Structure 1
Amino acid sequence: MRFPRRPRRPRPPRLLAAVLLTPLLAGCFASSGGDGGAASGADDGSRLRVVLAFPPAENLSPHGADATILSRLGVTEGLTALDANGAAAPALAASWRREDDRNWLFTLREAVFQDGTDVTPAAVAASLTRATEAEPVPAALSGVTLTAKAEGSTGVRVTTAAPDPVLPLRLSSPGLAVLAPKAYKKKGAVDPVGTATGPFELTEVTGATAADLDRFDDYWGGRAQASGVDVRFIADGTARANALRTGQVDLAEAIPVAQAATLDADTRRETATTRTTSLLLNVKSGVFKDPALRAAARAAVDTSALATGVYEGHADAGAGIYGPAVTWAEGKRVRPAGRARAGSPGGASLTLATYDNRPELPEVAQVLKQQLEKAGFKVKLEVREYSRLESDALAGKFDAFVGARNSLLDTGDPVSLLAGDFTCDGGYNLALLCDKGVDRAVAKAQTVADTGERQDAALAAEAAILGTDAVVPLVHQRVITGVGAKVSGVLLDPYERTLVGTGTRR
């Protein structure tokens, strides 16, 4: 049964300044909603005030890095989701079955888009098709060719060019969210405002500084307890922590480890994640085109100093591309083979880049700069906001890059990250690695269906990648989220796909 859309209450204009200083946050959040966060009705629920670290880099398109913003805020959904164990779970698809090696049939549940139109097989198939046509292709589809077609009144048949045993996991990716037909514009543009299916509807976006969400009362999974979400994007980690401590926000993501002790214990949530901070070396051009100098850089890095120093014990020293949160990896890890011998840097110059949205990264980069210089390199450090850095990093304009990457974010499949980040055709290949041995190892892992055997193959491919010294795993992070004392129902998971859901309230 469907219920009529609840009319939205009038809302006064929001302050439009690009707020980076904590004293301004209270005014910004108070102006959105008109009551500084008080409940708008006895049973209507309060609006949540959320501050995120990463501003939109691509106009909140679900096909790129912004996909996780939409997923974490409860705006978008795919055909499937990940459960607590990392297995595929129903979302817009109530069930599915594999018909043969290349064909899967997904049966849709009854649901409606936020523009009031029905979620139909044709709409879902068109949405998936647009994802395959995106440039660059979403990371979850790196190396994968698929087609989607409507099948009857409730079915969507997804066909892959090659057997894909983890397709249900792949379709859980935030980058493969299903949107209404009106979301798709000319020249590949995608507008998620009012066109998704989640419990919260994106209603307004103010550049890279703010976004407003209202509760979507027709959500198939039940009415959310909060009436909406007011979001601010604040790159300054200290400002995020201060805003939570002073009660100006209800949720603050990515609290810097240096600020953790300033928060009351009951407002800190530390979550082991599958996120690894790594040093990526540009193997295509510049100083690190030489394998011997990549080996010298790897040998110069002291990861334990980063874990205990920069992260103050809130991280583990780098063990591989997959960290301790990927519990099956530790007992199966393979030692890298074929590494080059470390050469003498001899004063070779390089540019090391990172971003400040995760406040520990500039400090990590500074420590790495010192370690590399001690080994004989000359290092220039460049720090920007991520949205102003990504395109240059992907274009290979830096010799080295420090980044934090969730190894199971895009699909939940351990092999998919390797294909997207470290193969010749990878869509997020910051190291610009193109190695035949690596491509063979990843391609082999992609064909394995058995879970245990696929894990073994993934770790064999990991060893091949580490053997090139294109990536040096530094630390495996534990993420600290600030949660107001009166807030409940926050969704924290090691994949960092969720934050706000139907049960999140204050």
Structure 2
Amino acid sequence: MGRRLPGVVLAAVAVAALAAGCAGAGSAGGADPDGEITVGLQFPPRAAYAFEADDGARLQSLGVAETLTTVDDQARPAPGLATSWEQTADPRTWRFVLRPGVTFHDGTPLTPDAVVTALGYVAGVTAPPRAIRDIGFSVAADGADAVLITTAAPDPIMPMRMSSGNLGILAPTAYSGGGQPQVLRTGTGPYVLDTVNGTDSAVLLRNDAYWGPKAGAARVTVRYLPDPQTRALGLQSGDLQFAEGLPGAAVEQVRSAGADVAEYPAARTVELLMSQSTLFGDVRLRQAVTAAIDRPTLAAQVLAGAAAPASELFGAAVPWGATTPPPGADLARAKALLAEAGHGPDRPLTARLWTFPNRPEMPVLATAIGSMLEQAGIRVELTVGDYAAQEPDLLAGRFDLFLNSRSYLSDYADAASTLTSDYTCGGSYNLEHYCSPAYDALIQRLAETSDTAQRQALFAEAARLLTTDAVGVMVVHPRNTAGSRGVTGFVPDPLGVRPILPSLTRSAT
């Protein structure tokens, strides 16, 4: 099975190069480093930028708050506010050495006590971020330049966990008032969060005291625009200089208006789940469904190229993902497998197919998939409904087919969480009720594997095993889009970890 394409590797390397020094490089060659830009982002803060509500990741993407670590182009832990780390003689404890000379936006220095205050707060909330939930997390200062992070059991991926945007470090003054931390002018990033207008907008100012490369624009107005067509129209009119998440139907119009549009992989899979508690306990039936679905056609025609056909759970967004396209439909094989399992024209298989409308591509894909299954002799009863209403039956396995859209990275660039929750025998989100001792034994090895390359090899092996066992049909991997007009410097980050705004520089007029 093919792995990551060279072009994707080069793009990821370009992202790393950008983080290392491109943010301030736009001052030459027709760029205006003192310019102001307006950007349209698709996801507003859900709870006034509260870290415990996943809004910390928004502060990270804005370039306001920073974490102890980040990730490099191969999804390995890389220095952030910590320059190095090591596991101590006690394997439950990691020591992180802090970057010298860092100051918060309020002028106070980054110290071990400041890190203890920040991480201690987020670990102590009612529902801590997933990256550190239920692991017995604690943090303590260790001398003048380091902190010790300890867990209840040895944790091989603590440096990766620390890259989660929900673990950003704010100044001690952010926590002095009690309650939710104050996020205005308390981060360390290349941008200062200066003003906030609820879920509508925010204003960022360049941090001229930043420890790394300076941000490309002096001022950024962030507009939160959930409607994708509004973002596209903003680019076309020139009201926006950058927008993410453009609708596929508007891409060519945006380009014709003079904007550059980047299309790049997303760490997400649209998957057709097959409940092994109802109709699909027989692997031949799961294989028949797989053979009946023409994934290349779904990606190229039904979604008009806004996704790549998926051959496995992981795609080109991650270094270990499969990039060789899956085969098209094989109706003869599908019908033969159905016949082997006791189904044919005289005894057709009837399956309920559920999905939800929250992502507009899902009903369209479900309709097309239903038509493909009908051609193979499987009768389909399609229901498009509210996910919240469906979830109790889904968790209990009381469904036949469910078309889902699932991110396969959870908060940081490691797939162990998804592989555990979705597919192990006791997984909390194992909707298909798949249970394989061989698969569980493979995933258990991750608990003792700290080397990133070895972990990624295990991720790929797990994906191949799921494919062999016909656990769901991995249908497509959606693509992200972003448009730029009047700015330079944007480089895609398929992992969604690095800040997206500091590299943007206004073009000189």
Normalising by structure 1, what TM-score? 0.74
Which runs of structure 2 are paired with 1:102-501 in the superposition (5 Å)? Answer: 102-109=92-99, 110-134=101-125, 136-141=127-132, 144-183=135-174, 189=180, 192-264=183-255, 267-279=259-271, 281=273, 301-330=293-322, 347-349=350-352, 351-356=354-359, 360-368=361-369, 370-371=371-372, 375-382=378-385, 400-405=402-407, 407-408=408-409, 410-419=411-420, 422=423, 429=429, 431=431, 435=435, 437=437, 438-463=439-464, 465=466, 471-484=472-485, 486-501=486-501
Number of the residue aligned with 2:26? none
* Structure with higher RCO (Cα < 8 A, 6+ apart): 2
Alpha-carbon distance in 2 for matches of 1:181, 1:450: 34
89-98 or 133-142: bigger deviation: 133-142
The alpha-carbon deviation at position 272 of structure 1 amounts to 3.3
The alpha-carbon deviation at position 244 of structure 1 amounts to 0.6
> Is the 8 Å Cα contact of residues 203 and 213 (structure 1) preserved in structure 2?
yes
Alpha-carbon distance in 2 for matches of 1:107, 1:376: 60
Alpha-carbon distance in 1 for matches of 2:203, 2:488: 20
The alpha-carbon deviation at position 251 of structure 1 amounts to 0.7
> Is the 8 Å Cα contact of residues 143 and 419 (structure 1) preserved in structure 2?
no
Alpha-carbon distance in 1 for matches of 2:432, 2:107: 43
Number of the residue aligned with 1:386? none
The alpha-carbon deviation at position 500 of structure 1 amounts to 3.4
> Is the 8 Å Cα contact of residues 329 and 455 (structure 1) preserved in structure 2?
no
1:74 paired to 2:63: yes
Q: Give SS of 1:355's match.
A: coil
Alpha-carbon distance in 1 for matches of 2:312, 2:109: 44
Structure 1: gaps of 5 or more residues: 1-41, 334-338, 384-388
Alpha-carbon distance in 2 for matches of 1:275, 1:453: 20
> Is the 8 Å Cα contact of residues 57 and 165 (structure 2) preserved in structure 1?
yes
Q: State the one-letter code of the partner of 2:236.
A: R
Alpha-carbon distance in 2 for matches of 1:299, 1:185: 60
Normalising by structure 2, what TM-score? 0.74
Q: Measured at CA, do residues 192 and 483 of structure 1 come closer, stay the same or move farther in structure 2, by a change above 3 Å?
A: same
> Is the 8 Å Cα contact of residues 244 and 482 (structure 2) preserved in structure 1?
yes
Q: Measured at CA, do residues 85 and 418 of structure 1 come closer, stay the same or move farther in structure 2, by a change above 3 Å?
A: same
Number of the residue aligned with 1:46? 35
Alpha-carbon distance in 2 for matches of 1:229, 1:278: 34
Q: Give SS of 2:311's match.
A: coil
Q: State the one-letter code of the partner of 2:94.
A: W
The alpha-carbon deviation at position 362 of structure 1 amounts to 4.9
The alpha-carbon deviation at position 497 of structure 1 amounts to 2.6
Alpha-carbon distance in 2 for matches of 1:378, 1:479: 31
Q: Give SS of 2:60's match.
A: helix
Structure 2: gaps of 5 or more residues: 1-30, 326-336
Alpha-carbon distance in 1 for matches of 2:473, 2:456: 21
The alpha-carbon deviation at position 307 of structure 1 amounts to 1.1
The alpha-carbon deviation at position 133 of structure 1 amounts to 3.9
> Is the 8 Å Cα contact of residues 353 and 382 (structure 1) preserved in structure 2?
yes
**Per-residue deviation, residues 421-447 of structure 1 (Å, max 9, x unmatched):** 5557878x4848685745543232231
Number of the residue aligned with 1:93? 82
Alpha-carbon distance in 1 for matches of 2:411, 2:342: 36
The alpha-carbon deviation at position 481 of structure 1 amounts to 0.9
Alpha-carbon distance in 2 for matches of 1:143, 1:425: 16
291-300 or 124-133: bigger deviation: 291-300
> Is the 8 Å Cα contact of residues 169 and 411 (structure 1) preserved in structure 2?
yes
Alpha-carbon distance in 1 for matches of 2:350, 2:138: 51
Alpha-carbon distance in 2 for matches of 1:138, 1:284: 31
Q: Give SS of 1:482's match.
A: strand
The alpha-carbon deviation at position 151 of structure 1 amounts to 0.6
Alpha-carbon distance in 2 for matches of 1:189, 1:290: 48
Q: Give SS of 1:263's match.
A: helix
Q: State the one-letter code of the partner of 1:488.
A: T
Alpha-carbon distance in 1 for matches of 2:288, 2:409: 29
> What is the RMSD of the two structures over their aligned residues, measured on CA atoms?
4.0
Q: State the one-letter code of the partner of 2:461.
A: A
**Per-residue deviation, residues 38-62 of structure 1 (Å, max 9, x unmatched):** xxxx998233211112233344333
Q: Measured at CA, do residues 343 and 355 of structure 1 come closer, stay the same or move farther in structure 2, by a change above 3 Å?
A: farther
Aligned length: 448
Q: Give SS of 2:222's match.
A: strand
Q: Measured at CA, do residues 198 and 452 of structure 1 come closer, stay the same or move farther in structure 2, by a change above 3 Å?
A: closer
Bigger Rg over Cα = 2
Q: State the one-letter code of the partner of 2:302.
A: V
Alpha-carbon distance in 2 for matches of 1:455, 1:193: 38
Q: Measured at CA, do residues 162 and 232 of structure 1 come closer, stay the same or move farther in structure 2, by a change above 3 Å?
A: same
Alpha-carbon distance in 2 for matches of 1:441, 1:433: 18
**Per-residue deviation, residues 128-148 of structure 1 (Å, max 9, x unmatched):** 233334554433336644322
Q: Measured at CA, do residues 448 and 372 of structure 1 come closer, stay the same or move farther in structure 2, by a change above 3 Å?
A: same
Alpha-carbon distance in 2 for matches of 1:302, 1:75: 44
Q: State the one-letter code of the partner of 2:84.
A: S
> Is the 8 Å Cα contact of residues 396 and 432 (structure 1) preserved in structure 2?
no
Q: Measured at CA, do residues 93 and 450 of structure 1 come closer, stay the same or move farther in structure 2, by a change above 3 Å?
A: closer
Number of the residue aligned with 2:22? none
The alpha-carbon deviation at position 317 of structure 1 amounts to 0.9
Q: Give SS of 1:376's match.
A: strand
Alpha-carbon distance in 1 for matches of 2:383, 2:122: 38
